[in-house]
Amino acid sequence: MKVAISDKILSIQSAVRAVIGDVSHRDLQDSFDHQVICAALERHNGNQCRAAADLGWHRNTLSRRVAILRERGYQFVLLKKDNRTGYKMPRRNQYA
């Protein structure tokens, strides 16, 4: 008995839904991007230019993605909103 490819795809989709539930592709992508961006920012002490280069992105792409994720409710601990210059790392003397 031959099994159609569409039947295999449906069985894989149902297995994935059983493990992660009904999560949209956008939610999964956002969660993954948030984890990757946070790890890169942590490695580079909040320096967006270096984090973007580490990810193989342009710094504007990283800034835009951070802004989109912030609008969707994600938080970035190492970044602080500065109305004049955008998202930047707080000054070192503010940690003390």
Q: Judge if pTM exceeds 0.75.
A: no
pLDDT at 76: 81
20-55 tens-digit pLDDT: 666 777 888 898 999 999 999 988 888 889 999 999
What residue segments make up the domains of the chain, in order of their start?
23-94
User: Residue 70's pLDDT is what?
Assistant: 92
Question: Which of 10-19, 44-53, 78-87 is most confident?
Answer: 44-53
In this prediction, residue 62 carries a pLDDT of 94
Cα dist. 84→4, 18, 30 in Å? 58, 47, 27
Query: In Å, what is the CA distance from 32 to each residue of 64, 69, 80?
Result: 16, 11, 21
Q: Which CATH architecture has domain 23-94?
A: Orthogonal Bundle (1.10)
Confidence of residue 89 (pLDDT cuts 50, 70, 90): low
Task: Write out the DSSP string of the chain.
Answer: ----HHHHHHHHHHHHHHHH-S--HHHHHHHHHHHHHHHHHHHTTT-HHHHHHHHT--HHHHHHHHHHHHHTT---TT-EEETTTEEEPPPGGG--
